[in-house]
Every structure is written in structure tokens, then in C-alpha cells.
Amino acid sequence: MAIFVDIVSRLLHPAVQVLLLGGVSMAFVLRRRPLAALASAFVAVGWLWLASTPAFALSLRRPLATPASAIRTGADAIVVLGGGKLPVIDWSASTTRAGTGLALWRAGFAPRLLVSGSDQARQLAEGYTSSGVPERALRVEAASTNTHENAIYSAALLRETGDTNVLLVTSSIHMRRAAGAFRHEGLRVSPVPVTEMDVSLFGAPRWVPTRGALTLTARCLREYVALWTYGQRGWL
């Protein structure tokens, strides 16, 4: 199943789709169908250009992104999901998921921090410990490999201490699915979305292709498919 998900995820990246279209174009050339080959090549180049423009990437992002709102006080725990960029030096000054979680804890919004995700939970825990978070205030969930498991395994840990009201920290385009998955497990969720890399595109020329826009387009396409899949499986 994990291999299938990985393959689908890769196929959703516009760069991979362009390579496949290039292969189709080459096949038409070998079959001596120049018009079909030219049409395939034109579609490939056009899609790559469109997917790389900030205007297109941000239009895909808009329906997904959860806007920042006032953070509620009195939560039981702060849950930080892995998958984001880790701070290099000063975690307290970082606007990443990790830095946001640390800032919330230091500001007293909740007494406990829970980090979740097999990809980064251990690193997040080490960073928080180095930043002054005591072990008694830190919970580590390092078994989950996707958002559905993030919610299930984190909820199990939270119930051990009677924590049901959480501040959830993840990227803004991931928040809709993540919050839905955590609420599905019976938790009261207050979203704390992090803009992460998307902010650099807001002031960029709208129709000039950039690598960052291409990356955002790929992330949004994967997120739309993931949202549909989670809805079909009853995970939201």
C-alpha cells in the first residue's frame, strides 16, 4: 500500500507528468505521427509553464489554505505534526511548524507539547528539549506514517492524560485534512496554520515561472487527492 501511495504521489507532480508526456511525444515521432508528437510536446511545455507560475499555484492553494485566526487559550496540549522544515539555529525565532509550536508552549497556551510523525518526531523532540522544554511536558508519537495515523496514534496518547482540547500546528494547506482527521478521533481542535514556504510567492511576478510555484502546485494537487481519499474512506 505504501508503495502504491508513493507512486501515485510522484505521478501527481507536474514535472513527472511532463516527462510522461515527453515519452508520449517521442512515441508519436517513432510512429511517424508528427502532428500528434507536436501536440503532445506543446501540452507538456504549456502545462509545465502553467504549473510553475505563482498565479496558478496560489489559485490552487486558496481553497485549501486555512487562514490564521485568534488562538484560544486553555488548551490541554499543543500537537505539532512533522513534515515541515526544521529550524537550523534558533527555534524560538522560527516561523516553521517547529518554531510555532515552541512559541505557543513558551507563551503558556498549553502545558504539554506532542510531536507526531515517524519522519521528524524524534528530531522535533530533541530540538524542543534543547530549547528548554522539560521531558515531563513533551510527548513523542513516532510511529505514524500519514495524517490518518497521526490522528489515531496522537489521540491515543492524549487520552492517557485526559487531553481532549488541542492546538494543532501544521501547514496551512494541510490543516483542513489534518484538523478533520483529529476531530474524527473525538478531539476538540483549534487550528494554528503555518504558511511555511508559500509566503515567498505572494509578492512574486504572477506569470513568471518559479521552482517554488511548481513545488506548491505539486503539493496542492496531492492534497486535493488526499482530501478526496480521506473523505471516501470516512477518515474525516
* Domain tally, the chain: 2
Q: What is the pLDDT of residue 117?
A: 94
Q: Is residue 186 part of a domain?
A: yes
Q: Is residue 174 part of a domain?
A: yes
pLDDT tens-digit series, residues 129-185: 999 999 999 999 999 999 999 999 999 999 999 999 999 999 999 999 999 999 999
Same domain, 175 and 133: yes
Same domain, 96 and 185: yes
CB contact at 8 A, 214 and 53: no
**What's CA 151's distance to the chain center, in Å?**
14
pLDDT tens-digit series, residues 51-110: 999 999 999 999 999 888 888 888 999 999 998 778 777 777 678 899 999 999 999 999
Q: Which residue has the cell 516527462?
A: 19
Q: What is the pLDDT of residue 2?
A: 53
Same domain, 59 and 130: no
Q: What is the mean pLDDT of the chain?
A: 90
Using the predicted structure, report yes or no on whether residue 204 has a pLDDT greater than 90: no
Q: Is residue 159 part of a domain?
A: yes
Q: Is residue 69 part of a domain?
A: no
* Range(s) of the domain holding residue 228: 2-64+210-233
Cell representation of residue 235:
477518515
Same domain, 140 and 85: yes
- State the Cα–Cα distance between residues 206 and 213, nearest whole angstrom: 10
For residue 236, give the nearest of 190, 177, 166 by alpha carbon.
Answer: 177
Same domain, 148 and 226: no
Q: What is the pLDDT of residue 156?
A: 96
For residue 167, give the nearest of 123, 109, 125, 127 by alpha carbon.
Answer: 109
Q: What is the pLDDT of residue 94?
A: 72
Q: What is the pLDDT of residue 198?
A: 64
Same domain, 39 and 81: no
Same domain, 91 and 191: yes
Q: What is the pLDDT of residue 72?
A: 80
Cell representation of residue 156:
491515543
Q: Bridge partners of 113?
A: 78, 138
Q: Is residue 203 part of a domain?
A: no
**What's CA 192's distance to the chain center, in Å?**
13
Does an H or E element contain 221, and which? Answer: helix 211-233
Same domain, 145 and 189: yes
Q: Is residue 70 part of a domain?
A: no
Same domain, 125 and 221: no
Q: What is the pLDDT of residue 178?
A: 97
Same domain, 40 and 109: no
For residue 100, give the CATH number of its domain: 3.40.50.620
Same domain, 178 and 89: yes
Q: Is residue 204 part of a domain?
A: no
Give the alpha-carbon dihedral of 115, 143, 4, 194, to 10 degrees: 0
Q: Which residue has the cell 504521489?
A: 9
Same domain, 17 and 90: no
